[in-house]
């Protein structure tokens, strides 16, 4: 009965998707939301008290990235139903989820879960490839491979004194044996009993071999970031990109999987001996597959933006724009990528946002090279152009205008918004002496002084090109000719002047801080003396924050994160949105940049009862003796023997280096309402941290006038 009901749900979902036009993503894309009942796994693994062995499941289910009840889930479930039709009992034991992750991967868990990444769905070429990959993961569960590897590793640690290299080699060998068996049984036990095409199986290894590449290899046209009024120097672009070179016959001694050539050749031998007649790449409609794949691609771009992998987000949006040229989501991804690169250009995280071009191959290399060569001001102006153009295309989108204003604020702070900083003429254009004389004559006789002043921007003197002008000085030449843009700039500059004049009052009282605050998932990692891994103590930090709020009588939202995750699909969606905003914030590393996940967060804030999140993260670890100058007490003991006991006590009293960040954020505007930091060296690290939290919350109460 349960299988019949599941099949009905899959058929209805498929019909609904097929009833929609093929171009459902033409105008926009909204990130996937979960529907239906919350699976029992969430109730089991999302609680505060979970078993130590379930810690990995707890991290997965509370990440806000695990999806259920979406069209992508329905598609995966439908493929699984066909594979497991001869095994109804096994089907009852398995659960399938989709994970928001651009990594091309699927994973099996010993508790009967199979998790498929959006990155895998985004790169597949047909349904048959997905069927074989699911069959492969099912075999891992059915044959107990995960448990076997874990138990064998435990026994080796206890019974022998292997060197680390030997241990790794033995462990990876077992893993390769299991992977080989999973390929063999997936083909024989599951795939061969369906109507999926044998000929599609070679493509599975193409997907794996080129998993690091974008959705497609499309040459990047420099005109995409240039306009008639300006161009970038030629040395901002590569004459040719490095060809894609991905080996499949690599040494796999230290790999958990056999090399791809071995796996591919085994499959080819099976296919050569099999009859492919009557089989097909698709058992569901091909149009449905393409819809699901495009949805997964949009989700990958969303993930890249959230985790600040801007080169990936920008190039893949550029690729998808060929199919969806008017899609608001893609336009937003483009200007947020450029804006994000400008914010992280001179930070330690820049190599993650835009990898060095030497480490990239294929057409994406051109984008990485350009983004690394372009200057911060050029990137800000380019992002401004893209955001403003998106606003004109989609005037109903408030986020595009908000980011436009954020960029104008930044340019104004950098003294880059002065009127005479930008030319009114295109780059390389030299006005003739006659044009210049006519302009001067017109300025001298165009009415009286007061009439000219009242005309405002309509009567401004045009700025001529100057010898010291570079690309950035021409990047607004076309926009300056449109009254809408310059009037908006004038209006915003007036607002900024008013804000600056009133800023003194905000340092005394900030009425924005009078709303309730929601303490959101504090992070605290502590490395004990002699330990190898940081121990998570976020719950401990959260209790400290809540206790301090109670003592200070600060209004705290009573929303419970565990309840949000397990009460309903709607509440879980709100949790996911807030959690993804938090990931965006952590990746910003304290920057005041506008956060991508602030877009569309209003409903989640309403469900939480506030838009103010209290966020905190900290870590502490023992200081290395070299950096603590532990040789000083040793020398003092040698010079003054009577001081030996004191010196010994000091020598063995390890200090902990503790760093922490605390902030109250308005998640709808990405505005930092309050922030503070701690950098301390002390034995009693918890005491320092508790005092830091209490003092920060005391300041919040004082500034907010609570």
Strand-strand pairing, 518-519 and 612-622? parallel
Reported as type and span, the H/E element at residue 666 is: strand 656-666
Q: What is the pLDDT of residues 662-699, one digit of tens each?
A: 999 999 988 888 999 988 776 567 788 899 999 999 99
More confident residue, 137 or 160: 137
Contacts of 125 (CB under 8 A, 6+ apart): 200, 203, 206, 207
Q: What confidence score (pLDDT) does residue 463 get?
A: 87
Q: Of the candidates 666, 516, 525, which has an alpha carbon nearest to the alpha carbon of residue 585?
A: 666
* Cα distance between residue 684 and residue 634, in whole Å: 23
Which residues partner with 108 through β-bridges? 114
* Cα distance between residue 346 and residue 349, in whole Å: 8
- The answer on pLDDT for 204 being more than 70 is yes
- The answer on pLDDT for 452 being more than 50 is no
Q: What letter would DSSP give residue 70?
A: S
Q: Of the candidates 561, 662, 552, 558, which has an alpha carbon nearest to the alpha carbon of residue 610?
A: 558
Q: Which three-class secondary structure string do you get for 483-502?
A: HHHHHHHHHHHHHHHHHHHH
Contacts of 550 (CB under 8 A, 6+ apart): 556
Q: Of the candidates 379, 263, 394, which has an alpha carbon nearest to the alpha carbon of residue 329?
A: 394
Q: What confidence score (pLDDT) does residue 418 get?
A: 84
Contacts of 609 (CB under 8 A, 6+ apart): 516, 518, 557, 558, 559
Phi and psi at 419, nearest 5°, equal -60, -40
Q: Residue 4 — very low, low, confident or very high, per pLDDT cuts 50/70/90? A: very low
pLDDT over 70 percentage in the chain: 80
Q: What is the pLDDT of residues 70-81, one digit of tens each?
A: 999 999 999 999
- The answer on pLDDT for 453 being more than 60 is no
* Cα distance between residue 579 and residue 572, in whole Å: 10
Coil, strand or helix: which one is 59? Answer: helix
Q: Residue 157 — very low, low, confident or very high, per pLDDT cuts 50/70/90? A: low
More confident residue, 288 or 247: 288
Q: Of the candidates 402, 417, 396, which has an alpha carbon nearest to the alpha carbon of residue 335?
A: 402
CB-hemisphere CA count at 13 Å for 188? Answer: 9
Beta strands in 459-548 (DSSP E): 518-519, 523-526, 535-536
* Cα distance between residue 286 and residue 492, in whole Å: 50
264: its two tokens: 């591919």
Q: What confidence score (pLDDT) does residue 495 get?
A: 84
More confident residue, 9 or 512: 512
Reported as type and span, the H/E element at residue 657 is: strand 656-666
Chain center to CA of 134? 26
Number of helices followed by number of strands (H, E) in the chain: 28, 10
What angle, rounded to 10 degrees, do the helices at 201-209 and 260-272 form? 170
Rounded (to 5) percent helix, strand, coil in the chain:
55, 10, 35
**305-315 CB burial, b ≥16 within 10 A, e <16:** bbbbbbbbbbb
More confident residue, 176 or 544: 544
Q: What confidence score (pLDDT) does residue 363 get?
A: 97
Q: What is the pLDDT of residues 509-521, one digit of tens each?
A: 455 567 899 999 9
Which residues partner with 532 through β-bridges? none
**Could you please report the per-residue DSSP string of 214-230?**
-SS--PPPGGGG-BTTB
Q: What confidence score (pLDDT) does residue 149 get?
A: 80
Q: What confidence score (pLDDT) does residue 1 get?
A: 45
Average pLDDT, the chain: 85
Q: What letter would DSSP give residue 280?
A: B
Q: What confidence score (pLDDT) does residue 253 get?
A: 57
Once rounded to an integer, what is the mean pLDDT over residues 13-37?
A: 73
What angle, rounded to 10 degrees, do the helices at 127-142 and 201-209 form? 80
296: its two tokens: 């997964």
Q: What confidence score (pLDDT) does residue 681 get?
A: 72
Once rounded to an integer, what is the mean pLDDT over residues 63-67?
A: 96
Q: What confidence score (pLDDT) does residue 563 get?
A: 92
More confident residue, 334 or 250: 334
Q: Residue 106 — very low, low, confident or very high, per pLDDT cuts 50/70/90? A: very high
């Amino acid at each position: 009965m349960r299988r019949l009901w599941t099949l009905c749900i899959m058929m209805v979902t498929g019909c609904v998707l097929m009833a929609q036009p093929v171009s459902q993503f033409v105008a926009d894309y909204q990130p996937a939301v979960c529907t239906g009942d919350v699976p029992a796994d969430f109730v089991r693994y999302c609680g505060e008290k979970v078993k130590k062995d379930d810690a990995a499941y707890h991290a997965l289910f509370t990440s806000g990235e695990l999806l259920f009840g979406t069209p992508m889930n329905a598609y995966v479930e439908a493929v699984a139903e066909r594979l497991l039709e001869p095994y109804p009992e096994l089907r009852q034991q398995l659960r399938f989820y989709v994970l928001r992750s651009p990594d091309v991967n699927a994973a099996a868990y010993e508790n009967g879960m199979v998790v498929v990444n959006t990155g895998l769905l985004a790169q597949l070429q047909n349904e048959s490839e997905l069927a074989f990959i699911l069959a492969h993961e099912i075999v891992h569960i059915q044959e107990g491979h995960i448990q076997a590897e874990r138990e064998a590793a435990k026994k080796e640690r206890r019974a022998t004194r292997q060197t680390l290299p030997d241990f790794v080699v033995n462990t990876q060998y077992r893993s390769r044996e299991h992977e080989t068996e999973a390929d063999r049984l997936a083909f024989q036990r599951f795939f061969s009993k369906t109507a999926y095409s044998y000929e599609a199986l070679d493509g599975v290894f193409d997907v794996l071999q080129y998993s690091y590449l974008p959705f497609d290899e499309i040459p990047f046209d420099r005109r995409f970031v240039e306009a008639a009024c300006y161009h970038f120097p030629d040395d901002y672009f590569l004459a040719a990109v490095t060809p894609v070179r991905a080996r499949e016959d690599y040494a796999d001694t230290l790999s958990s999987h056999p090399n791809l050539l071995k796996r591919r050749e085994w499959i080819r031998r099976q296919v050569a001996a099999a009859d492919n007649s009557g089989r097909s790449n698709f058992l569901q409609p091909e149009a449905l597959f393409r819809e699901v794949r495009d949805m997964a691609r949009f989700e990958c771009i969303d993930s890249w933006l959230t985790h600040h992998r801007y080169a990936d987000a920008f190039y893949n949006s550029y690729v998808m724009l060929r199919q969806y040229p008017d899609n608001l989501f893609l336009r937003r991804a483009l200007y947020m990528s450029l804006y994000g690169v400008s914010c992280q250009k001179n930070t330690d995280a820049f190599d993650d946002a835009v990898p060095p071009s030497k480490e990239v191959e294929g057409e994406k290399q051109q984008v990485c090279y350009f983004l690394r060569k372009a200057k911060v001001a050029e990137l800000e102006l380019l992002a401004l152009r893209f955001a403003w153009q998106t606003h004109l295309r989609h005037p109903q989108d408030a986020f595009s205008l908000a980011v436009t204003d954020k960029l104008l604020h930044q340019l104004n702070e950098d003294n880059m918004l002065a009127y005479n900083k930008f030319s009114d003429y295109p780059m390389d254009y030299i006005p003739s002496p006659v044009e210049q004389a006519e302009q001067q004559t017109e300025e001298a006789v165009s009415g009286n002084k007061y009439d000219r002043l009242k005309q405002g921007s309509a009567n401004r003197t045009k700025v001529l090109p100057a010898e010291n002008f570079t690309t950035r000085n021409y990047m607004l030449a076309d926009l300056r000719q449109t009254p809408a843009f310059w009037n908006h700039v004038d209006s915003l500059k007036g607002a900024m002047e008013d804000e600056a004049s009133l800023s003194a009052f905000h340092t005394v009282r900030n009425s924005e801080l009078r709303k309730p605050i929601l303490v959101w998932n504090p992070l605290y990692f502590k490395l004990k003396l002699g330990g190898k891994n940081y121990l998570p103590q976020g719950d401990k930090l959260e209790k400290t924050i809540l206790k301090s709020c109670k003592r200070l009588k600060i209004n705290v939202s009573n929303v419970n994160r565990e309840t949000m995750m397990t009460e309903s699909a709607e509440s879980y969606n709100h949790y996911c949105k807030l959690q993804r905003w938090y990931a965006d914030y952590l990746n910003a590393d304290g920057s005041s940049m506008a956060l991508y996940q602030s877009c569309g967060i209003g409903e989640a804030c309403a469900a939480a009862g506030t838009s103010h999140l209290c966020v905190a993260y900290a870590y502490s670890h023992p200081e290395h003796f070299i950096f603590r100058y532990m040789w000083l007490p040793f020398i003092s003991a040698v010079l003054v023997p009577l001081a030996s006991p004191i010196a010994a006590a000091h020598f063995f009293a390890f200090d902990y280096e503790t760093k922490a960040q605390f902030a109250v954020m308005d998640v709808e505007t990405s505005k930092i309402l309050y922030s503070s930091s701690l950098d301390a060296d002390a034995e009693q690290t918890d005491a320092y941290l508790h005092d830091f939290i209490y003092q920060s919350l005391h300041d919040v109460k004082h500034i907010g006038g609570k």
